[in-house]
Amino acid sequence: MNPARTLWLLLVALFVFSFGLAAKLQPQFQSLESTRRQSANFFSLLLGDSSKIFANAFFVKADAYYHSGYYPTIFDNNSAFQTPHIAEDTGAVASHNQGAEDIGFMGPPRDWIDAFGRNFIPNRHTHLDEGGPTDDLSKSSQVREILPWLKLSAELDPENIQTYLVTTFWLRTRLDKVSEAEQVLREGLRNNPGNPQLFFELGQIYDENYHDIARARNIWEAALRSWAREEPDVPQSDRLKMTLENFDDRFMFEQLQTSLALLEEKSGNTAAAIARWQQAILAAPSTADMQQHIEDLKHKLAEQPSPASSK
């Protein structure tokens, strides 16, 4: 056989084989991609699941920056630093910290080298948003220094909701960077579609910063639908039972219903507000104040002239 012809035939055969192999493997890769959304992330590809360990380390690093370097190591008493203060101060997480922060984790000096060395390290508890080591409140915007580590932490572990919430809190409330905060939340929602906590924060931006009540309402209602979809087989009454295990579930539900109730009050929809408050009561640990507020709203509604009588 002509060698050139043989080569051509071989080339065609290889082409057919590679096309067939690609057609066979492509669906499998697609399903793999959908189960590993984060695989597009460079760090996740490089580090795999260990990226979460690094993400946590960088989150703690952000907290160390918040304290201007005054931070316990594994050799120190870190009972007052179990929950990072940058997260604790946002109210987004429950605190596990024990003991007073200001007493200090270092304790008395162990020996003269330790006592001498303490003159060369940060040795006082400060927070960056309270002026840091200089106690100068005009420098409270220096809290921006925690942002690089939070950004890196979010890149490494895009499924950690806490990182987005903390980043958003500092950007929105202390640095007045609302647009950037919104971008962070949208990035979080891209990585964690339909997360109620992220929706809640986004709604807050539209309500408090953009004063766009209609959109805030839509977002919070979407958050409630997402909340319900999280565990479709569990009845709402079970998810709202007063147990420690479902604290996060209850807290989220209450926050959403309360925010919607306040929004309805602001819009003048008293009847809708009462309905929301009644829902919020289902998840609230103490209901007396809410009950009183509902009664006040009912009185207010009763005093309002009905549309028919006003005509």
Partner 1 sequence: MRTIFALAGVVIKELYRRKDFYVLFILTIVICVIMASVNIFNDNQIVRYLKELCLLLIWVSSLVIAITTTARQIPAEREQRTLLPLLAKPLTRTQLILGKFLGCWLACGLVLICFYAFFGALAASREHAWPLLSYFQAAILHWMALGVVIAMTLLGSLVFAAPSSNSTICFVVVATILCVGRYLDAVALSLHEPLRSVIYAIYYAIPHVEIPFEMRNLIVHDWPLIGWKFIGLDILYLLAYVAIFLVAACLVFRRKPVN
Decide: is 75 part of the binding site for partner 1 (CB under 8 A): yes
Q: How many CB atoms lie within 10 A of CB 108?
A: 7
Residue from 73, 138, 306, 310 touching partner 1 (CB under 8 A): that is 73
What are the C-alpha distances in Å from 144 to residues 126, 279, 310? 15, 38, 54
Which of these segments, 44-52, 64-72, 232-240, 258-266, binds partner 1 (CB under 8 A)? 64-72
> Half-sphere exposure of 105 toward its Cβ, with a 13 Å CA cutoff?
21
Instruction: In whole angstroms, give the CA distance from residue 2 to residue 5.
Output: 5
**Footprint (CB under 8 A) of partner 1, residues 20-59:** none
What are the C-alpha distances in Å from 84 to residues 15, 55, 90, 164? 57, 13, 10, 14
Decide: is 145 part of the binding site for partner 1 (CB under 8 A): yes
Decide: is 138 part of the binding site for partner 1 (CB under 8 A): no
Decide: is 174 part of the binding site for partner 1 (CB under 8 A): no
Decide: is 135 part of the binding site for partner 1 (CB under 8 A): no
**Footprint (CB under 8 A) of partner 1, residues 210-249:** none
Q: Which CB sits closer to partner 1, 8 or 116?
A: 116
Asked if 298 and 292 count as a contact pair (C-beta separation under 8 A), the reply is no
Q: How far is the CB of 83 from partner 1 (least distance, A)?
A: 22
Q: How far is the CB of 88 from partner 1 (least distance, A)?
A: 20
What are the C-alpha distances in Å from 285 to residues 242, 244, 282? 7, 11, 9
Q: Which residues bind partner 1 (CB under 8 A)?
A: 65, 68-69, 73, 75, 110-111, 113-114, 116-117, 119-122, 132-134, 144-145, 147-149, 151, 171, 175, 177, 180, 184
